[in-house]
Amino acid sequence: MPSIVRTPAVPAEGFWTLTSRRLVLYDTQFAGVVTVKTAAGTNRLLKFTVRSFEAADLDLTIRRGLATWHLRAGAGTVATAGSPTTLYAERLVGKAFSLGRRTSTPRGRVVISPSSVPRWLSPRVPAAWNARHRAVTIEGAALYRIRLAGGTLKMPRPHLTMV
Residue-wise pLDDT for 115-147, tens only, equals: 998 877 766 655 544 445 678 889 999 999 998
Report yes or no: 83 and 38 within 8 Å, Cβ to Cβ.
no
Domain limits of the chain?
Answer: 4-162
pTM: 0.81
C-alpha distance from residue 55 to each of 82, 97, 139 (Å):
12, 14, 10
Q: Could you give the CA distance from residue 16 to residue 68 in angstroms, rounded to a whole number?
A: 11
Quick one: pLDDT band at residue 4, thresholds 50, 70, 90?
very low
pLDDT digit string (tens) for 10-38?
434 567 999 999 999 998 888 889 998 87
Type of residue numbered 39: A
**Chain centroid to CA 124:** 20
Type of residue found at 112? I
Listing DSSP states for 14-55 in one string gives: --EEEEEEEEEEEEEEEEEEEEEEETTEEEEEEEEEESEEEE
- The pLDDT, as a whole number, for residue 144 is 95
